[in-house]
Amino acid sequence: MKSVIENRKTTLTANKPTLRSSKHSLWQRLTKGMLYAVLILLAIIQIFPLVWLLFFSLKNNQEVFNTPPLSFPTSPKWENYVKVWTEGNIGTYFFNSVWITVVAVVITVLLASFVTFAITRMKWKYKNFVLGLFMVGLMIPVHSTLIPLFSFFVKVNLMDNPLSIILTYIAFNLPLTIMILLGFYYALPREIEEAAIMDGCSIHRMFFKIILPMTAPVMATTAIINMIYNWNEFVFVNTFISSDKYKTLTVGIQNFIGQYSTDWGAIGATLMISILPILLAFFVLSNRIVEGITSGSVKG
């Protein structure tokens, strides 16, 4: 079958020049060029605001207001970065974002792996129902849960406590994480488990020593997706955390910018600091991120 298609392909390409006039190919080249132009224009639109942000983060107000938007900063004002890092609490917010994100991601991926393992590999009656429970969670708008969560955390004395946000991050990221893991787990060969059990290996040992290492690539993908979501999360921190020492970057910069509402350089530097880790992660791990986002949405 394949060779037949290949054959037809070659005859087709061989016939092309005679079938199509040169006028036609010029027309084709022209459309292709136009399509390229559209795609590149779109890329510029997507990147331009960020380049502008980088530029004004290195300028002072005078330069921002009196020079063209895309003019290169004449003498880069790195002191903007030093200033916002040392004067405000950006360092604290940054550190909070890092540790809260890491803790939530590790627990989410681990819990999700346990659940996915039990659902895909073990035999029990209610597994489809339990899987359904997790999947419906994907459709719940977080805002509908905000008031009850608020009063719940007041009751159990977790208001203004990082645990409240870590727990909500875990709860709201579990469905997506399980969904991404599912496909990978279904594809794992059963022979490995059988052999391990025959050799007298316990389930726990098998899970930790064999299954988890085998799923490392997909765990990395889900971890990155989780990381992006947690790093950027706003409404939970804004609602549950009130003291500066526990705020994360997204909420912290929002407050901080309020104080510097007229100093564009400082604002630019603050925003750059908040987005740099994600941009760096993207440059290093872009394939995994792309893969995670597609597998996380297409299978829905």
Q: Which stretch binds another protein (CB under 8 A): 71-79, 81-89, 179-187, 281-289?
A: 281-289
Q: How many residues bind another protein (CB under 8 A)?
A: 95
Annotate 62-109 with DSSP letters as a single string.
Answer: HHHHHS-TTPPPSS--THHHHHHHHHSSHHHHHHHHHHHHHHHHHHHH
Token pair recorded at residue 157: 């004395």
Applying the rule CB under 8 A, the residues between 54 and 113 that interact with another protein are 56, 64-65, 68-69, 111-112
- What is the C-alpha to C-alpha distance for residues 126 and 130, in angstroms, rounded to an integer? 6
Applying the rule CB under 8 A, the residues between 131 and 170 that interact with another protein are 133-134, 137, 139-152, 167-168, 170
Residue 206 φ/ψ region, left for φ over 0, alpha for ψ in the -120 to 50 degree band, beta for the rest: alpha
Q: Which stretch binds another protein (CB under 8 A): 83-91, 179-187, 215-223, 274-282?
A: 274-282
Closer CB to another protein, 44 or 102, in the complex: 44
Applying the rule CB under 8 A, the residues between 10 and 29 that interact with another protein are 12
Least spacing, CB of residue 270 vs another protein, in Å: 8
CA atoms within 13 A on the CB side of 54: 9
Least spacing, CB of residue 216 vs another protein, in Å: 19
Least spacing, CB of residue 17 vs another protein, in Å: 16
- What is the C-alpha to C-alpha distance for residues 221 and 171, in angstroms, rounded to an integer? 18
- From candidates 17, 29, 52, 102, binder to another protein by CB under 8 A: 52
Least spacing, CB of residue 161 vs another protein, in Å: 14
Q: Which stretch binds another protein (CB under 8 A): 78-86, 179-187, 215-223, 253-261?
A: 253-261
Closer CB to another protein, 214 or 257, in the complex: 257
H runs (alpha helix) in the chain = 2-19, 22-57, 61-66, 79-87, 90-121, 127-136, 143-155, 162-187, 190-198, 203-206, 212-214, 216-232, 235-240, 249-259, 264-298
Least spacing, CB of residue 75 vs another protein, in Å: 20
Q: Which stretch binds another protein (CB under 8 A): 47-55, 72-80, 88-96, 209-217?
A: 47-55
The DSSP symbol for 175 reads H
Q: Which stretch binds another protein (CB under 8 A): 79-87, 98-106, 212-220, 272-280?
A: 272-280
Annotate 199-231 with DSSP letters as a single string.
Answer: TT--HHHHIIIIIHHHTHHHHHHHHHHHHHHHH
Closer CB to another protein, 83 or 268, in the complex: 268
Is the distance from CB of 149 to CB of 168 less than 8 angstroms? yes
Applying the rule CB under 8 A, the residues between 186 and 245 that interact with another protein are 193-194, 197-198, 203-204, 228, 231-235, 239
